[in-house]
Amino acid sequence: MRTPIVAGNWKMNTTYDEAMDLVEELVDGLEAREESDNIDVVLCPPFLWLFSAAEYLEDTGISSGRRTATGARSPARSRRRSPTSAAT
């Protein structure tokens, strides 16, 4: 049987401290629920906090992901980030 996935794509404008507080609250809330052992959880924070959130989530069993990317080399024509800009 396939494992269900629950993914959260958060689009809130937050400061670094607010973002990390939210990540911590999500981790604490999920650790307290028995059902979370039977699902894969993915958190997709805004780009600015992606690497910090991924680092925090590293040993929690919660995965990190990123929001929609564009295939364009120059993302200036869209509101999306190009994969190359995410790697830098």
What are the residue boundaries of the structural domains of the chain, listed by start? 5-86
CB atoms within 10 A of CB 62: 22
pLDDT at 18: 93
CA distances from 3 to 22, 41, 81 (A): 25, 10, 29
pLDDT at 24: 95
pLDDT at 20: 94
| Residues of the chain predicted below pLDDT 50 | 78, 87-88
Distance of alpha carbon 38 from alpha carbon 34, whole angstroms: 8
Q: Alpha helices, DSSP H only, in the chain?
A: 16-31, 50-57, 83-86
pLDDT at 88: 46
Strand 62-64: give its sheet, edge to edge.
5-9, 40-44, 62-64
pLDDT at 66: 80
In this predicted model, what pLDDT tens digit does every residue of 38-50 receive, in sequence order?
A: 889 999 888 889 9
